[in-house]
Amino acid sequence: MTKATPGAKPESENIEGNSMTTLSDNLLLERIGQGDTASFESVFHQHYDRVYGLLFRLVGSRSEAEDLTQEVFLKLYNHAYRKRLFGRGREHNIGAWLYRVATNTGYNAIRSRQRLWQRNTALVPDPQGSPAAEKEVELREKETAVRRALARLQPRQVQLLLMRQMDFSYADCAAAVGVAPGSVGTLLTRAAQAFRQAYEEEEGNNQ
């Protein structure tokens, strides 16, 4: 949300709750669509940490997560400024859009990685009896199993699991995946069950 100019009356002063957020998001998108870099930077700084955190949990690499985060924000800029795809006739939630695009971007990255895993056998160093090396190999195998399991889920299931892990509220989760808040609990339970089954199968394949 942009900061009001000192002494000026905020445009959304009389709007409460989600309406205030929605109005601010619509104004920001309109300004970004007009080429206002300050509005884009405001959105970038407001949402960067959570977008990056979501992507890092998906891909497990800081450098790759940083690159994908930049890609997500460039998509927002292109949609708002170049393509003008955020129309005035509807309400927009920038955070929900960013988290949805981030999930899809990260999901596609791990799906591509899984196809490589299926074609190639991952090479790991021979621990040679070293407890530290054995523990490192075991940790890598578990991380690989987690990402393989996530790649087998539906994108919406992945998004819900990661957002709740990052302490997003049910309302935030619902807005990001486009469902009623009351259905988030049931969807999370199903997603957790699907992940557990996929993870157990991946663990079994490693034994």
Give mean pLDDT in consecutive 10-residue pieces for the chain, a chain of 207 residues. Answer: 40 40 73 88 94 93 95 91 61 88 91 59 47 69 86 92 93 92 96 94 74
Q: Which residues contact 26 (CB under 8 A, 6 or more apart)?
A: 88, 91, 92
pLDDT value for 90:
64
pLDDT value for 192:
95
Q: What separation, in Å, do the N-terminal and C-terminal C-alpha atoms of the chain show?
A: 50
Q: Is the pTM of this model over 0.85?
A: no
**Residues present in the chain in total:** 207
Q: Which residues contact 56 (CB under 8 A, 6 or more apart)?
A: 62, 65
Q: Where along the chain do its domains lie? A: 17-206
Q: Which amino acid is at 96?
A: A
From 92, 94, 80, select the one nearest 35 (Cα to Cα): 80
